[in-house]
Structure 1
């Protein structure tokens, strides 16, 4: 009998919540479901006291300190009366539960439930822009108590590039293209590392679908797994990136205009910060490709030639259109 090493385990949801319910004051689980196998594993549970979401961080994806930074930030934002899906403390006051998985220790954290649905249109873009300005304003007051990686050039560009290039060995022209673009983007980031740009705590993944909107105009932010300290221009650029990437013929300019105008009305940015946003759209595209290739051992190596054709076509066209 062979005994290969496990790289990712999916836990039995009912057994999982039967055990977790003993640690939290959340009542009796009534219905649970495995929601997604993404950057982390997400489960949802209905109990006789309400709804909750459980995240199980993948092995070696985030350090304990990284996770505690995220959870402490969310607790702070909750204390600022901002609408965030926040961590739920265990009966003993702790936030993290260690799980003994075949691949190694994994951390689990329970969160409050985000009600509503994902929606990107003119009205929600405007609402979201104002909400992100408020979020950044509160984050300016946050004093980290735990170490976490920065959303700087190393994390956003250098590390993804190292993950991506081995997958392009059979496409030498694209290796040259990617290295050339990355080199130019790196110069832009180096020039923005002088402390003169808006730099602070960021959500890191504001693509418009990590927020749920309710019919009464309310919203709830969630999934701060990519948060960190970095350029606010990058944080904002992710919303634009989601609107344009893969949607060349369906880009709704009015949604981006509504978002950034609403943000600027509450929290003005300098022209140099705004000028960086197109740069970060290209950086985000490289980051995404690096993420997909770097996680292929868990998600599967579905990054075929068709995938690279599409992703690199957008990247090349974007940097050319914006003269980056």
Structure 2
């Protein structure tokens, strides 16, 4: 009997052999599986003392990973002097290789390993993160984004994820109209704001996809990695990912003083570099809800790998309440930039 596989997990040793056979990096002396989530990520140590990170791309609900554009973004940002974990070409010059697995071929991409502190709740690090994201957007200005397979617009972030969610096996007839109405009102609310600023987005800037490190002069800078979601899109969505990360995603969730302080530090630092217009500011709160729709669509699309109980019906019932509450969500905007940390 021939079995079908949804997604297998190679060992770190197996990935090390694949990397040695396809990349001019020399001997891999050790490796470990760092994370098994949206992708499978491995840390590898090389004989020459370097470390690299291998990402084995998982099947995405949205479609094929846009690896060529991701590599182009990293090259562009590096050329502009912006700190990123650059991708490393395979021995044949390609941006990625194809690995044959029981479920079929999957792409593997290799990256530099970067060191630094987590952003966490340190004010200086949060400010470096906010400034760094603004500098990333400035560095992305002028890049030709016409080759991007994906645009981070309402079709990509809201409509298609909602369609996947409505097809989930744990969705029922009682919940479906509620999600449809919430999605429709959210779309109409954002559309009513008029044209919104477009930037080259990181796509997943929630503070865990960057480190903060000290420069020689003692100032702090953020270095970014994990550009799997990169693409041209709405600035307001890009900035809404961090408050979405901070705000409790529960029915009775309210802003804590700590979360409000972190949001204020972040958005103030961002606006020191790139001030926001009125329409983009007004779009921040509804895009927090858009991010949650995007996440629900990602979960729904991964049922064959993660199982239907990753989004059980009672969880979806709570999500209706959360998203209804978020229709009145407000993001306070500091009236003036916060005083910078002396070490920032």
TM-score, length-normalised on structure 2? 0.86
Q: How many residues align?
A: 319
Quickly say closer, same or farther: Cα 1:163–1:311, change in 2 above 3 A: same
- Residues 182-197 of structure 1: matches in 2 within 5 Å? 182-191=183-192, 196-197=195-196
Give SS of 1:39's match: coil
User: Counterpart of 1:294?
Assistant: 301
- Give distance in 2, aligned partners of 1:260 and 1:8: 39
Residue 294 of structure 1: CA displacement? 1.5
Q: Does structure 2 conserve the Cα–Cα contact (< 8 Å) formed by 1:69 and 1:145?
A: no
Residue 110 of structure 1: CA displacement? 0.2
Q: Which piece of structure 1 moves more, 53-62 or 156-165?
A: 53-62
- Residues 34-45 of structure 1: matches in 2 within 5 Å? 34-45=33-44
- Residues 232-247 of structure 1: matches in 2 within 5 Å? 232-246=235-249
Residue 241 of structure 1: CA displacement? 0.8
Alignment partner of 1:96 is 2:105: no
User: Counterpart of 1:149?
Assistant: 150
Q: What are the Cα deviations for residues 173-212 of structure 1, in whole angstroms up to 9, with x where unaligned?
A: x3232221111111134345x6x32112111111111112
Q: Does structure 2 conserve the Cα–Cα contact (< 8 Å) formed by 1:59 and 1:103?
A: no
- Give distance in 1, aligned partners of 2:271 and 2:301: 35
Q: Does structure 2 conserve the Cα–Cα contact (< 8 Å) formed by 1:201 and 1:230?
A: yes
Q: Which piece of structure 1 moves more, 30-39 or 52-61?
A: 52-61
User: Counterpart of 2:45?
Assistant: 46
Residue 265 of structure 1: CA displacement? 1.1
Give SS of 1:108's match: strand
- Give distance in 2, aligned partners of 1:245 and 1:84: 29
Structure 1 stretches of 4+ with a deviation exceeding 4 A read 60-65
- Give distance in 2, aligned partners of 1:19 and 1:170: 44
User: Counterpart of 1:30?
Assistant: 29
User: Counterpart of 2:105?
Assistant: 105
Residue 165 of structure 1: CA displacement? 1.8
Q: Does structure 1 conserve the Cα–Cα contact (< 8 Å) formed by 2:13 and 2:31?
A: yes
Give SS of 2:14's match: helix
Q: Which piece of structure 1 moves more, 97-106 or 242-251?
A: 242-251
Structure 2: unaligned runs, 5 residues or longer: 332-344
Residue 63 of structure 1: CA displacement? 6.0
- Residues 204-215 of structure 1: matches in 2 within 5 Å? 204-214=203-213
Q: CA RMSD in A?
A: 2.3
User: Counterpart of 2:197?
Assistant: 198
Structure 1: unaligned runs, 5 residues or longer: none
Quickly say closer, same or farther: Cα 1:60–1:171, change in 2 above 3 A: closer
- Residues 242-281 of structure 1: matches in 2 within 5 Å? 242-246=245-249, 248=254, 250=256, 252-281=259-288
TM-score, length-normalised on structure 1? 0.90
- Give distance in 2, aligned partners of 1:315 and 1:86: 37
Quickly say closer, same or farther: Cα 1:241–1:80, change in 2 above 3 A: same
